[in-house]
Each structure stands twice: as C-alpha cells, then as structure tokens.
A and B are shown apart, each in its own frame.
Chain A
C-alpha cells in the first residue's frame, strides 16, 4: 500500500497504534502473572484495561478520518514483545523478575509515547480537531503511565541497592 499524503499517513499511523494496543492488551495479563509484587501486578493488569480503552479511541479517530483501523500488524511491537518475553523467561528470583518486567514494559510504553506524540502532532497540523483530541488524551495517558512506572521502579531499585549484592 502506498502512502501518498499526510492524511493517509495519519490513517496509517492510527492503524499501527490500533494494532499496538491489541498486542499490548493481549500481553499484559501474562506479564502481570509473572510479577512478584502486588503493586506491580495490579499496575500491569490495569494496562490491559487501558489498552482496550485506547484501542476504542483509535477506532473513533479512524472513523473520523473515514478509514478502517484494522488490517495492520505492527511488527515493531511484535519484536518488542518477543524480545522482552525472552528476557523475562531468563529471570530468576523475585527482584530480578520484577526489574526485567519493568525494563520490558518501559520499552513498550516509550514506543507508544513516540507513536501517539507523532500522530498527535500530525493531526494537529492537519487541523483534524476531534482526532487531535483523541490522540492527545492517549499520549497524556501513556506519559503518565511511564511516569508511574518510574515511581514504582524506584522502590525496586532501592531494594536492589540494599537487599542484594550487585
């Protein structure tokens, strides 16, 4: 498929993000089940709900642009999930497992932030106000999620400093 205009590029980016959210919603329950900490487990489990809400928003954005959000598979997210899963599988011990989960989902969140921020900027320049609003809401949520993960990870880093030899 050729992308010939900024409008088509925006639809393409939304399709990519839509598939990203499907993949994220699917992987988060598995990751939550691997967590050795109730707060981290709840945080990861909540990501499924968030991803599904964001997926619905992307459907609304695609419809506003007159396009179909389905039919795309984001290979970048497939690779991120596959690579992260491999590392999670190598983990031994509660603290290391929790830290690997954090490293893994942090990469996922930052991929999403990059995607949403680019799409939001493009929608803004193209003056698609309803689409801009939908993308802006998800971009803010992703930033807040990454910040919350950073706060949560600080506790595990403190445990790493005090409880185990580096």
Chain B
C-alpha cells in the first residue's frame, strides 16, 4: 500500500514498525478519501449520499499526520 518502500530500511525496532503501521493507515485513508466522492455520486439515497461526503476521513488523516515525527513524515500519495 505504501509507495517507494523498496528504498526503505529493513525494520529493526518496534518504533519503526509502529511508524510503518501509521503510514499504512495514512495511505489507506488517502485512498478512501479519493474513493468516497465516487461512491457518493453512485448513491441513490440522500442520506447515504451525505454519509459519503461527510469528510470524517480527512480529520483522521490530520490526526495520523500529527502522530509521526518530522523525520519520518509521509510521502505524497
């Protein structure tokens, strides 16, 4: 799910593993943010449509970003 991982060092500690997990979630949220408007457009019910456009995922992305030290910041997705 992460891009450019070929150049990443092998994992040697749990803290790096934790950062990898958060990066994985971060990328998952980004993919979801891209997919949700398409699902919203396809929805045939106003409430369901509204749920897809609720922007909850953007909030999670900002929270995930705040968890990671600057030197490990995320690559663009």
Contacts and interface: CB of A to CB of B under 8 A. Distances in A.
Interface string A1-12: 000000000000
A93 B12 contact: yes
Contacts of B12: 92-93, 96
Interface string B1-35: 10001001011111101101100100000000000
B5 A96 contact: no
A83 B1 contact: yes
B14 A99 contact: yes
A155 interface: no
B14 A160 contact: yes
Contact of B5 (A90, A91, A166): A90
A71 B15 CA distance: 42
Given A90-B8, A90-B11, A91-B11, A96 B1 contact: no
Contacts of B5: 86, 90
Interface in A50-99: 79, 83, 86-87, 90-93, 95-96, 99
Interface residues of A, number: 17
Contacts of B14: 95-96, 99, 160, 164-166
A75 to B, nearest CB: 13
A108 interface: no
B21 A92 contact: no
A100 interface: yes
A79 B27 CA distance: 13
Given A83-B1, A86-B5, A96 B11 contact: yes
Contacts of B10: 90, 92
Contacts of B24: 83, 87
Nearest to B12: A92
A133 interface: no
Among B8, B11, B12, B20, which residue has the most Cβ atoms of chain A within 10 A?
B11
12 contacts: A90-B5, A91-B11, A92-B11, A92-B12, A96-B13, A96-B14, A96-B17, A99-B14, A99-B17, A164-B13, A164-B14, A166-B14
Interface of B: 1, 5, 8, 10-15, 17-18, 20-21, 24
